[in-house]
A and B are shown apart, each in its own frame.
Chain A
Amino acid sequence: MTTTFTPILKADHLTKIYSDRPTPALSDVSLTIGKGECVGIVGESGSGKSTLARCLLRLESLDQGTIEFRQQLYHSLKGHSLRQARQHIGAVFQHPTAALNPKLTIIDSLMEPLDLQPSLRPSFISQPIRNREQIATQLLEYVQLPTKLLSAYPHELSGGQKQRVTIARAISTEPDLIILDEPTASLDVTSQAAVLKLLQELQQSLHLSYLFISHDLAAVYQMSDRILVMRHGQVVDQFASNDLYHEERHEYTASLLDVFLA
């Protein structure tokens, strides 16, 4: 089966310079993410992979380059139009504890995006359901968490459970793209496996597009259709996942491969 490639996000020649660093954090980085696709970014610390995530979320200003999102100019948006465009991008970061306000119950943290935009109702939530608690309940069911956690506080949850809450929050606005920056790096091995599996299932059932960022080549391989390898702010290699062993792999990719091939 061949599907047509519809780009959801197209970034060209992104450059980001921090004045206190000798080399650019991002240097001429281009990437395209197609609808329903998972693009993986692998790199070590300092490679620029998280800077890239923050630039794509417009949490960081660009020094050069353009970003199109949903076929519209995105990098220069401001104020209301930026907030509107950003509704369609979700994000999950490495530390779920930092992503949940310790003073809010899970339902309040989970429903914050929808509380702010009452007109938004995810289409995957069964139709007759109208009230807030029922929506929250269904969102938790999507990430396989027990409903009783709605009234709990973050400190009562394990790391894996907290990360599931942030994933539920990310899907609640039905975004076209979710940026996952090391979403399992702070989790134990077994909950990492469970969260990766959940992300794959959600991608299938909700037709999500992902940008999956990790230092773990094996996890990136497992999740992604295409992989970009970053080093010192540059994309040094990119390939389809099933082309992992092609002889033209960059030597840096080859050295990463050697580490992860146990």
Chain B
Amino acid sequence: MLSIRGLTVHHQLQTLVHPLDLQLHRGEWLALAGESGSGKTLTSLAIGGLLSADLHAHGSIQLEGKELLHLSEPEFRHIRGREIAYVFQDYQSAFTPFITIGKQMDEMIRAHTSLSRQQRQHSCLAHLEQVELPAKPVYNSYPFELSGGQLQRAAIATALLLSPKVLIADEPTTALDSLTSRSIIQLIQRIQQETGIAILWITHDLRQVQRTADTLLIMKSGQVVESGKSHSIFFHPTHPYTVQLLSSIPKLPSRYRLELQNKQVNT
């Protein structure tokens, strides 16, 4: 579905993303993991033509065979939202503060389709229901009336309004509580099973994607150091950096291991 070959991102003085290859299939959950400065966000922005003007991308990014990299801004506007949708870490700035959620969702459909007012409202409410929000009240709410978790759900509902083929989620749960993050991840998992949407998940926290990602790309300083099936990387990491990254994550011992440990202390 999404095929990236030899993608590089340059600044005037330096190369920020070194030749990167990535294949994302329908229904696949691909996690792009790395620390700050690894180039994971630049990669995700390059896909939707969102790089700032001082950055230049080269190589090839194809969505269902169509080259995206050299599209003009009006052509990109046609694709973003409709074919590729984004959800970001900063849910506070996903919505304009003084316009209701419903009105902002409505605007999104109106900009891309010729549906009637009634059809648009119906679609908005259905999508708010899909993300497990009380549809009517949220539709009429202003952003500040919602909690962080609710806002991020509303942002996901908005991203899914036009049934995009690819959802790019850049640290969507980093600013949320661990319990809220978990429920957002479960929600996206469920939506993926229902719709077959392809997901590109950007994160610094490998714990988040251990249960969900099919494929994993580990990035460091603009380079992919390791990629492959998620479970094989988790259980048999080969690159020293991946090993370091995995061992850096704070872990709870299993119940069995802790009991064993306690027994040894007592005897």
Q: Which residues on the B side are within 8 Å of A117 (C-beta)?
A: none
Once bound together, how far apart are the Cα atoms of A260 and B35, in whole Å? 20
- Tally chain B residues at the interface, Cβ within 8 Å: 30
Once bound together, how far apart are the Cα atoms of A257 and B35, in whole Å? 25
Find out whether the CB atom of B178 lies under 8 angstroms from the CB atom of A188: no
Find out whether the CB atom of A193 lies under 8 angstroms from the CB atom of B247: yes
Which size class do A's interface residues fall under? Answer: 20 to 34
| Nearest B residue to A219, CB-CB | B250
Interface residues of A in 71-86 (CB under 8 A from B): none
Find out whether the CB atom of B261 lies under 8 angstroms from the CB atom of A242: yes
* Residue with the greatest number of chain A CB neighbours at <10 A, chosen from B206, B252, B258: B252
Q: Is A93 an interface residue (CB 8 A)?
A: no
Chain B residues packing against A (C-beta within 8 Å): 35-36, 177-182, 204-207, 210-211, 244-245, 247-255, 258-259, 261-262, 265
Once bound together, how far apart are the Cα atoms of A193 and B245, in whole Å? 9
Give the residue of A45, A196, A242, A262 whose beta carbon is less than 8 angstroms from that of B207: A262
Q: Is A44 an interface residue (CB 8 A)?
A: yes
Find out whether the CB atom of A259 lies under 8 angstroms from the CB atom of B179: yes
Q: Is A215 an interface residue (CB 8 A)?
A: yes
Give the residue of B250, B259, B262 whose beta carbon is less than 8 angstroms from that of A222: B250
Find out whether the CB atom of A216 lies under 8 angstroms from the CB atom of B178: yes
Q: Is A119 an interface residue (CB 8 A)?
A: no
Q: Is A189 an interface residue (CB 8 A)?
A: yes
- Given known A-B contacts A188-B35, A245-B259, A259 and B248 have beta carbons under 8 A apart: no
Q: Which residues on the B side are within 8 Å of A44 (C-beta)?
A: 177-180
Q: Which residues on the B side are within 8 Å of A261 (C-beta)?
A: 252, 254
- Given known A-B contacts A242-B262, A244-B258, A245-B258, A189 and B182 have beta carbons under 8 A apart: no
